[in-house]
């Protein structure tokens, strides 16, 4: 993987572990020669990921909607900063510019990005790994819920492994690098669905 899209929060939680984690993710990717594609902001975990990567000599490509450029939210320190019209274009750019997706802690926007990456993988719009860094057990309940959706029958057996999770970044990146694309919905026939 030459570039990974990072999905994370723009908030700064009271617990400093989250900001430290975000910085470490950017730093680690840069040291491994993996570029960061992210939301283009300078605040919260987003800003910490970019700072970690930039301070370690890494490539950082920010994708930010026009509406968020004002108010000194945009990170002009990025290697490249792309300003797009809306969130749809932002998420398409994440997919176009990256070789995989890595979600670290975040809120509603982060969940939107994660689930779109998973949905697009199921359908066949991309065949890239979708990683979930479950640091501090942050995503325990989401992983449990995803398993529940599969057990009930809303996630097909072929798609149960789309979300690749781990509690540590190193093993997660290794799992993502070994990812073998699954059979997509576009490849299936009606009787398979």
Q: What is the pLDDT of residue 71?
A: 66
Structural domain count, the chain: 1
> What's residue 72's pLDDT?
62
Counting as low any pLDDT under 70, the low residues of the chain are: 71-72
- Residue 125's domain is classified under what CATH number? 3.40.50.450
74-115 confidence digits (pLDDT tens): 999 999 999 999 999 999 999 999 999 999 999 999 999 999
- The pLDDT tens digits of the residues spanning 23-37 come to 999 999 999 999 999
What is the extent of the structural domain holding 9? Answer: 3-192
Say what the pLDDT of residue 121 is.
96
Cα–chain-centroid distance for residue 66?
Answer: 21
8 near 105, Cβ under 8 Å?
A: yes
């Amino acid at each position: 993987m030459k570039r990974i899209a990072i999905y994370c929060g723009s908030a700064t939680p009271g617990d400093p572990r989250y900001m430290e984690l975000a910085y470490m993710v950017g730093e680690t990717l840069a040291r491994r020669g993996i570029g960061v594609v992210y939301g283009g902001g300078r605040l919260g975990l987003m800003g910490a990921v970019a700072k970690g990567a930039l301070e370690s000599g890494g490539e950082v490509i920010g994708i930010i909607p026009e509406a968020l450029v004002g108010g000194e939210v945009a990170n002009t320190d990025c290697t490249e900063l792309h300003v797009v019209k809306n969130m749809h274009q932002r998420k398409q750019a994440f997919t176009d510019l990256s070789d995989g997706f890595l979600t670290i802690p975040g809120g509603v926007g982060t969940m939107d990005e994660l689930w779109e990456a998973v949905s697009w993988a199921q359908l066949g719009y991309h065949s890239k790994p979708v990683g979930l860094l479950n640091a501090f057990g942050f995503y325990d309940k989401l992983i449990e819920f995803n398993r529940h959706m599969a057990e009930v029958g809303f996630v097909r057996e072929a798609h149960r492994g789309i979300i690749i999770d781990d509690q540590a970044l190193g093993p997660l990146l290794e799992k993502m690098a070994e990812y073998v694309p699954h059979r997509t919905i576009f490849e299936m026939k009606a009787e398979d669905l």
